[in-house]
Structure 1
Amino acid sequence: MFYLLILILQMKLIRQITDLNKAISNQKELGFVPTMGSLHKGHTSLINSSKQKCKKTLVSIFVNPTQFNSTNDFKNYPRDLNKDIKLLKSLKVDFLYVPTVSQIYNNKKRRVTRLNKSQKILCAKFRKGHFEGVLDVLNRFTNIIKPKKIFMGEKDYQQFFLVRYFIEKKYKTKIIACKTIRDINKVALSSRNSLLDLENLKKVGKISLTLIKLKNLIKDNIKNKKLIKKIKIDLIKKFKIKIEYLECRNLINLNTNLKDKPFKLFVAYYLKGVRLIDNF
């Protein structure tokens, strides 16, 4: 029989909502880091930011089925709970919440969050229902946990942008963006990287370096769409990848007007069947 609440040194591993409510009922300065597990240094950075800005930190590990477009993608998503627990314990996280699907959704009918037309861009254009699933589950987590701050990585900037828009409008919770963490080859750290071998990870690094150079060139000529098209064709040919999108968007409202506005170069592509996203 599994214990509902397990004390591991200073970290409480919580599996039931009732135990979660007891553990955090008096926490007014709670930082929340939602994850799907398979933790890496990017997650560590989020946790450290929470520990610096909040009195207590809660991490969740929940592979949310409603944000996957493919059953195989959901089944193949990397999982290693024991390894994750060891890492979180070493980081002195206060609470780890590992719920089941039935706990979060509780057999209740899903309230579908609707994206408007201007929001159906980038990943939302190619992954139908993905962000609706993300927003729905984070709405449920926020309602249960009531954190003061939620910490999210900038690697999925569109996700951060949408979560901030929907959650801050409904709750007294601030969404904090944290810088993308990269390895020595400029590869953005991601749980999905574990699905690639060393040779293909080197390719990802070369693709990243190419796009960093492209972003710097665009800074000097924000209307240079021909250059983006040329680099896109070159990348597809050289690395045998399928690119879903490669485009610039400003950081104010994610539209394509870049004049006098901070912007990022966004990309999503498939390498050996693994979907990777990044921004520069």
Structure 2
Amino acid sequence: MFYLLIILLQMKLIRQITDLNKAIHKENDLGFVPTMGGLHKGHEFLIKVSQKICKKTLVSIFVNPTQFNNKDDYKTYPRDLSKDLKILKKLKVDFVYLPTVNQIYKNKRLPRITLKKSQKILCARSRKGHFEGVLDVLNRFVKLISPKMIFMGEKDFQQYFLVKNFISQNYKIKVYPCKTIRDKNGMALSSRNILLNRTNLKTAGLIANKLLKLKFSLLKKNSLNNVNAKKSKKLIQKSKKMLINKFNIKIEYLECRNLMTLTTNTKNKPFKLFIAYYLNNVRLIDNF
């Protein structure tokens, strides 16, 4: 309790919308980093980029229930507010917003957000309502905060892609992408990593390195002609079977997508390799 009081004296901790309005109504160069807590080095990188570009930075911690298609996933999502606040204090964040569910969803009159059929790919295909929930909550945050820029990580590339398009169509706000921060073993940092044991973490690192090698192989085969495109698909299927058998994981998807459009048209185009898989019943995503 005493430590929490010290934190409050050094950064603005905001719980009420009225206090939020008072704190930021004059800020016209505000960077916004939306999080669900469980902060790690990836979040720290986002915050540091915001602090470098914008005059002030606001970080939100809100585990949004509407983006979870699995109730158990929502209940077990890593939460450690005391630890998160220590990290934010060390980073000298200007504002930390901790809203309740009732505050965020008090206004139920906002237009319902739906994805187009072409957008229901990758995570959107299996996590029904997930990105609709993400876009809806960010829409609500933007209306409350009116930031100049929003900072998001490329580890959740599909999320960044959808948010960037939605925000650019509705607001004069830039969504700034930040590179994926990885552990020494190569795995992408994620709040869910805390749910993995030491063996799982080692396995995730090995999987990440296998996927990176696959990406290099695909770069060599991609683009020249249709024969190479077929070879790339076969290579992905072969790699998928290998990963499943070698590491005893369940793969939800493993596929290449156009970097600019997220379509499957990757011929002569920059692309990313996307994966979602379950390791010890923990769902992990990554892209290369």
Scaled to the shorter chain, the TM-score interval is over 0.9
Deviations 1:39-96 (A, max 9, x none): 0000000000000000000000000000001111100000000000010000000000
Aligned partners of 1:33 and 1:56: how far apart in 2? 11
Partner of 2:260, secondary structure, is coil
Quick check: 1:6–1:13 contact (8 Å CA) kept in 2? no
Aligned partners of 1:37 and 1:11: how far apart in 2? 17
Counterpart position of 1:132: 132
Counterpart position of 1:199: 199
Give the partner amino acid of 1:226: K
Partner of 2:162, secondary structure, is helix
Quick check: 1:9–1:89 contact (8 Å CA) kept in 2? no
Aligned partners of 2:77 and 2:149: how far apart in 1? 27
Counterpart position of 2:217: 217
Counterpart position of 1:77: 77
Answering whether residue 114 of structure 2 is matched by residue 106 of structure 1, we say no
Answering whether residue 255 of structure 2 is matched by residue 244 of structure 1, we say no
Counterpart position of 2:267: 259
Matches within 5 A, 1:91-170: 91-106=91-106, 108=108, 111-170=111-170
Counterpart position of 2:279: 271
- Identity over aligned pairs, percent: 67
Answering whether residue 88 of structure 2 is matched by residue 88 of structure 1, we say yes
Change (3 A) 1:23 1:118: same
Quick check: 1:6–1:12 contact (8 Å CA) kept in 2? no
TM-score of the pair, normalised by structure 2: 0.94
Total equivalences in the alignment: 276
Counterpart position of 2:225: none
Give the partner amino acid of 1:152: M
Quick check: 1:31–1:148 contact (8 Å CA) kept in 2? yes
Shift of 1:257: 1.0
Change (3 A) 1:264 1:141: same
Deviations 1:211-268 (A, max 9, x none): 0000000001122111100010011111111101000001111001112221100000
Shift of 1:114: 1.0
Shift of 1:142: 0.5
Give the partner amino acid of 1:159: Q
Shift of 1:9: 3.6
Aligned partners of 1:10 and 1:27: how far apart in 2? 18
Aligned partners of 1:252 and 1:131: how far apart in 2? 18
Aligned partners of 1:195 and 1:53: how far apart in 2? 33
Counterpart position of 2:41: 41
Give the partner amino acid of 1:216: F
Give the partner amino acid of 2:29: E
Partner of 1:187, secondary structure, is coil
Counterpart position of 2:16: 16
| Structure 2 gap ranges (5+) | 223-228
Partner of 2:263, secondary structure, is coil
Aligned partners of 1:162 and 1:207: how far apart in 2? 26
Counterpart position of 1:181: 181
Shift of 1:109: 5.2
Change (3 A) 1:257 1:38: same
